[in-house]
Chains A and B, each alone.
Chain A
Amino acid sequence: MSRIGVFVCHCGHNIAGTVDVKAVVEQLQRNGDVVFAIDYKYMCSDPGQQLIRESIAKYQLDGVVVAACSPAMHESTFRRTVEIAGLNGYRCESANIREQVSWVHQQDKVAATQKAVEIAESIVEKVKRNEALEPLVLPLTHRTLVIGGGIAGMQAALDIAEAGYPVILIERQDHLGGRMAELSGSYLNFQAAPDLLERKTQQVLTHPNIQTLLNAEVTSLSGYVGNFRVQVKQKADAAESPVMPLDELQPLSFTFDVGAIVVATGWQPYDRARLPEYGGVEIPDVVDGLTFEKMLRQGDGIRRPSDGKLAREVVFVQCAGSRDPEHGVSYCSKVCCMYVAKQAMLYKERVPDGQAYVFYIDIRSAGKNYDEYVQRAMIDYGVLYLRGKVSRIFREGGQTVVWGSDTLTGRAVEIAADLVVLATPMFPSSGSIELGQLLHISTDGYGFFNEAHPKLRPVETLTAGIYLAGVAQGPKDIPESVSQASGAAAKVLQLFSKNEMTASPLVASVIEELCAACGACVKVCPYGARQIHPIWNYATVNAALCQGCGACVVACPNKASQVRNWRVEQVLGMVDKLL
């Protein structure tokens, strides 16, 4: 027999106005496992908590059920209270008779009271079999791995390093800066951009807390939040780069222990061969946006790649492959409306008597001062914006012909262009999907990494301790990439604010005698927390990896797998009490 105490809360009128709390107390007093039951006006108030603590001592309670608000509301409050009285927190639970009873059945007091009784009894049934548990304490390595040395990766590395923690930044190219280093400049503050990037790069390279490895990639990852072990390979020809190899490690293959990982692998241009209606890669005077950035970086005039003649008619095609699930990608690349305006204005500065045309579906210039910027291109620079899609681009007599439509006038448009600039999609960096598999974080159909929650957890992944920054997660411009990088750094610092980690002890365990080593749980576990012990031949649980999801419980044919305090007999017992 258990010695459980039941505390029924009025919550002022919130509960007592609908549920007959005295009747609930009377019913529960008849439960064989309950030695004491009482109601009180506000259980979470100081006197309410006092009542619980005193009753634990007075009646030698070995379990507590508080029939009150949702466990999401005050279960942790009551667990702290019973701990003060010397009872293990996991021997205390809330029975939800407010959110799921009194507030939703205000018209039917009899039924609400009956329901409250049954719910309280079902929780008594559960608490009766709850184990007394302590939070898991896990070590925590205060070092971060940042993958990708673009603007996002550098920002995250600097924020973490400035807070005093060591960072290992790995970049697979032979220089830092990522794609930003290939741009002519950036919209809004065009001239300043190269300087800003140069300064950031120097800060990173000279920071005492940042170890930069160029020409390097991750080759394996094991462990879990706070305790990852990564292996990094560095290309042999990288001897010249500013590397500080750790002496105890073999040359060019390094192993690091890190507590957190930031993934900032960025993007690559979309493969134009997949856009044959825009000439694929066949036509020399059709280039993509990034190539045009490189052209802008060279000298003054803008010249045709085919013959070096000055380009007098330039056509920019927005959404060339974006928002076009049939030929390209379904998503909007987000930055093109802005950089096309930038590129068209720069072109006009280089070739003042040239004509720039922009085909667009609609203009997406949401951002501080962004629309004003596009307006400048239209009004001050005389760039001709044509609303419509380009249907075909082909070569004819030394010219590149663009067929499009202007949906505002309803006319078909044909332009003999010297140069066509396609605003092709920003596509995830090559190897993203493989990197995702290696890190056990998921990617979408294209290879962008998935955030833990699209609205509320945009910089975390579902794997604890791995965070996202920049275009690796989805199309973004520089300010957005930098913001997300600082967000990721803040998450890392939040993790590092403790000396060690505590984790919920509500994890799976295995009844060894029942386990047939069938491996079903190993296969079904989404966190790789299960293994078959090579010598003893039964399943084991890595408590640090286990999230307590319960998938293994259902998968186990022998019911050898159980989650602590969510044991099968507990749930079955609850079903009984509710029927």
Chain B
Amino acid sequence: MAESSEFEPKIIAFLCNWCTYTGADLAGTSRLQYPPNVRIIRLMCSGAVDPMYVLKADLAGADGILIGGCHPGDCHYQEGNYKARRRVIALKEILKSAGFDEDRIWLRWISASEGARFAETVREMTEALYAKGPNPMRQTWAV
């Protein structure tokens, strides 16, 4: 995307197929409007989100990374979301100690019926990222 003078945050969202991705579809069928700053990648389960994906997105300059999965107890594959939760906590610790802003990574449970919650989450996250400003990684690459 061409750099413009005004900062537009970019969010990469890794969403599980069974809950949050379907919830995002429902936001669409319900014509709920939310900021266009999010880019969705569909994965089968939040437990399939490799920390490598998150790191890659962060290093490549994503301003925010959203991981969306089924509510606890609802994972299609039994416990993928618990695995995701443990991993995201650990990953954030590591990022923090390496000087990264770990608050750019959000993990949210959004079910297939929570289209409104998905729209709201994107709205909130976009707002939060406007406040934070661009991912410093962007500048690193821009130089």
Binding site for B on A (CB under 8 A): 70-72, 96, 98-101, 103-108, 111-112, 114-115, 118-119, 122, 442, 462, 506, 524, 526, 547-551, 553-554, 563, 566, 568, 571-572, 574-576, 578-579
What 8 A-B pairs are tightest by C-beta distance, nearest first?
A550-B48, A99-B28, A549-B77, A111-B36, A103-B28, A578-B39, A99-B25, A105-B36
CB-CB nearest in chain B for A71? B42
A-B contact count (CB 8 A): 122
State the interface size on chain B (CB cutoff 8 A). Answer: 42
Of A72, A106, A462, A553, which is within 8 A of B78 by CB? A462
CB <8 Å contact, A550 and B31: no
Q: Chain A interface mostly helix, strand, loop or mixed?
A: helix
Q: How far is the CB of B78 from chain A (nearest CB, A)?
A: 5
Q: Is B56 an interface residue (CB 8 A)?
A: yes
B31-61 interface bits toward A, Cβ cutoff 8 Å, 1 = contact, 0 = none: 1111110011111110111111100110011
Q: Is the CB of A118 within 8 A of B39?
A: yes
* B83 pairs with A551, CB closer than 8 A: yes
A-B pairs with beta carbons under 8 Å apart, 19 shown: A96-B25, A99-B27, A99-B28, A105-B33, A114-B36, A119-B39, A526-B80, A549-B80, A550-B43, A550-B44, A550-B80, A551-B48, A551-B83, A554-B47, A554-B50, A554-B83, A572-B56, A578-B41, A579-B62
Contact check, A99 vs B29: say whether CB atoms are below 8 A apart. yes
A549 touches B53 (CB 8 A): no
With both chains docked as a complex, state the minimum distance between the C-beta of A237 and any C-beta of chain B, in angstroms. 40
Q: Of B24, B42, B49, B57, which one neighbours A554 at CB under 8 angstroms? A: B49
Instruction: Flag whether B1 is at the interface (Cβ < 8 A).
Output: yes
B129 interface residue per 8 A CB criterion: no
Question: Other than the known A105-B36, A550-B48, A553-B48, what 8 A-B pairs have Cβ atoms closer than 8 Å?
Answer: A70-B28, A103-B28, A114-B36, A526-B79, A554-B49, A571-B41, A575-B41, A575-B57
> Nearest-CB distance from B35 to chain A (Å)?
8
A548 proximity list for chain B (CB < 8 A): 44
If A98-B28, A99-B25, A554-B87 touch, does A549 touch B47 (CB 8 Å cutoff)? yes
Cα(A469)–Cα(B53), bound, Å? 42
Chain B residues lying within 8 Å of A576, measured Cβ to Cβ, are 60
Residues of B within 8 A of A101 (CB): 36
Instruction: State whether the Cβ of B108 lies closer than 8 Å to any Cβ in chain A.
Output: no
Minimum Cβ distance to chain B for residue A439 (Å) = 14
* Chain A residues positioned under 8 Å from B50 (CB to CB): 553-554, 568, 571
Q: Is the CB of B41 within 8 A of A550?
A: no
- Expressed in whole angstroms, the Cα–Cα distance for A449 and B40 within the complex equals 35
Q: Give Cα distance in the complex from A442 to B78, angstroms.
A: 9
Do residues A104 and B41 form an inter-chain contact, with CB atoms below 8 A? no
Residues of A within 8 A of B62 (CB): 575, 579
